[in-house]
């Protein structure tokens, strides 16, 4: 039986899992993100005890994703103490000697949506996660779109809502980027309440719908994908009609983007599982 491995490499924990070819989980474990040596040793020990034929890794970033470059598989310049320069792929390859697919956490989720989720019948999709941060990944015919680095779609330039005078939480871009204006921490910074306790009828969710619509509209006019999928904890079914309405207003009748309920949707992988499924699917594609 083929066994597939997944590592969701996050800034606070690494989630490890093994599945069969149908992505049924056979074993899983969470390990805290401490030092690279300790955390990667825990990963190696888990997969030594639960062997896999290939491994997919979706990692926090920034990371080197271009095979053949010295940075490939490494964590790049990061505020996460001790992790700058950490060789995730090299360390695990040496320990496990199996094929490894390595990309960003949001690209892994995009691949999960493409493989079995909201984009399973599409050739092209762009996936956004709106949570603690905002990130995006684009897929065309099974390949990630990108060149010299992975995308940083959450930091694209935003047009602030006319009633939203918030200064933004992005320390690089203030109120001029999506992450600064629409991420989970921006809700708490505006309202003084954790996002999950703020009613969906509050103005902040109208603003965030406006920003999500800008993400979707910019994406559509740039890439015209078949699907634009939103994941993460911030957007819900309650906002989707508003996102589509703002999209239509921004478009103002210019492009025919088809049925917006088909184009713009939420994650189609149950239990926020798109990253894990994406890791398994990337691993499977190596075999």
Instruction: Indicate whether 155 belongs to the interface with Zn ion (CB under 5 A).
Output: yes
Q: Which is nearer to Zn ion, 102 or 128 (CB)?
A: 128
Question: Parallel, antiparallel, or unpaired for β 4-9 and 54-59?
Answer: parallel
In the region spanning residues 247 to 276, those forming contacts with Zn ion, defined by CB under 5 A, are: none
The CA distance from 287 to 282, in Å, is 9
Choose the stretch contacting Zn ion; rule: CB under 5 A; options: 45-53, 115-123, 139-147, 164-172: 164-172
Choose the stretch contacting Zn ion; rule: CB under 5 A; options: 50-58, 90-98, 169-177, 264-272: 169-177
The CA distance from 105 to 137, in Å, is 9
Burial class (CB in 10 A: 0-12, 13-18, 19+), 276: buried
**DSSP assignment of 198-217, as one string?**
S-TTSHHHHHHHHHHHHHHH
Choose the stretch contacting Zn ion; rule: CB under 5 A; options: 9-17, 36-44, 144-152, 177-185: 177-185
Which residue carries 């684009």 as its tokens? 138
What is the DSSP-derived secondary structure letter of residue 240?
Answer: H
Cα radius of gyration (the chain): 19
**Which of 3, 173, 244, 284 lies at the binding interface for Zn ion (CB under 5 A)?**
173
Instruction: Indicate whether 177 belongs to the interface with Zn ion (CB under 5 A).
Output: yes
Choose the stretch contacting Zn ion; rule: CB under 5 A; options: 96-104, 148-156, 219-227, 264-272: 148-156
Choose the stretch contacting Zn ion; rule: CB under 5 A; options: 118-126, 149-157, 220-228, 266-274: 149-157
Instruction: Indicate whether 169 belongs to the interface with Zn ion (CB under 5 A).
Output: no
The CA distance from 177 to 218, in Å, is 13
Adjacent-strand bridge partners of 230: 128, 266
Instruction: Indicate whether 170 belongs to the interface with Zn ion (CB under 5 A).
Output: yes
The CA distance from 215 to 81, in Å, is 31
Q: Which is nearer to Zn ion, 133 or 278 (CB)?
A: 133
Q: Which is nearer to Zn ion, 113 or 179 (CB)?
A: 179
We find the least distance from the C-beta atom of residue 128 to Zn ion, in angstroms, to be 14
Instruction: Indicate whether 130 belongs to the interface with Zn ion (CB under 5 A).
Output: no
Q: Which is nearer to Zn ion, 109 or 186 (CB)?
A: 186
Tell me, by CB under 5 A, how many residues bind Zn ion.
6
The distance from CA 59 to its chain's CA centroid, rounded to whole angstroms, is 9
| DSSP SS3 for 280 | helix
The CA distance from 113 to 286, in Å, is 18
The CA distance from 123 to 68, in Å, is 27
In the region spanning residues 180 to 239, those forming contacts with Zn ion, defined by CB under 5 A, are: none
We find the least distance from the C-beta atom of residue 63 to Zn ion, in angstroms, to be 18
Q: Which is nearer to Zn ion, 173 or 284 (CB)?
A: 173
The CA distance from 64 to 207, in Å, is 34
The CA distance from 284 to 52, in Å, is 11
In the region spanning residues 80 to 99, those forming contacts with Zn ion, defined by CB under 5 A, are: none
Choose the stretch contacting Zn ion; rule: CB under 5 A; options: 20-28, 179-187, 205-213, 220-228: 179-187
Q: Which is nearer to Zn ion, 154 or 278 (CB)?
A: 154
Contact residues for Zn ion (CB under 5 A)? 155, 170, 172-173, 177, 179
């Amino acid at each position: 039986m083929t066994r597939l491995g997944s590592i969701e490499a996050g800034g606070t924990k690494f989630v490890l899992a093994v599945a069969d070819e149908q992505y049924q989980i056979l074993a899983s474990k969470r390990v805290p993100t401490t030092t690279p040596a300790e955390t990667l040793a825990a990963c190696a020990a888990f997969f030594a005890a639960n062997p896999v034929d290939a491994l997919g890794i979706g990692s926090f970033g920034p990371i080197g994703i271009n095979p053949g470059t010295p940075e490939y598989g490494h964590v790049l310049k990061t505020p996460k103490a001790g992790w700058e320069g950490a060789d995730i792929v090299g360390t695990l390859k040496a320990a496990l000697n199996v094929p490894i697919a390595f990309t960003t956490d949001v690209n892994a989720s995009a691949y999960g949506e493409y493989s079995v989720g909201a984009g399973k019948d599409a050739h092209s999709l762009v996936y956004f996660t709106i949570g603690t941060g905002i990130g995006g990944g684009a897929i065309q015919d099974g390949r990630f779109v990108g060149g010299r680095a992975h995308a940083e779609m959450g930091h694209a330039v935003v047009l602030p809502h006319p009633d939203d005078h918030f200064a933004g939480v992005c320390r690089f871009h203030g109120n001029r980027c999506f992450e600064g204006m629409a991420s989970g921490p921006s809700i708490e910074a505006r309202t003084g309440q954790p996002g999950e306790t703020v009613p969906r009828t509050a103005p902040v969710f109208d603003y965030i719908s406006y920003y999500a619509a800008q993400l979707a509209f910019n994406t559509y006019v740039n890439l015209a994908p078949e699907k634009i999928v939103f994941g993460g904890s911030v957007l819900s079914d309650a906002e989707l009609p508003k996102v589509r309405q703002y999209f239509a207003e921004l478009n103002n009748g210019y492009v025919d983007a088809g049925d917006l309920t088909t184009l713009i949707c939420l994650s189609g992988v149950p239990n926020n599982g798109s990253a894990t499924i994406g890791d398994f699917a990337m691993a499977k594609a190596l075999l």
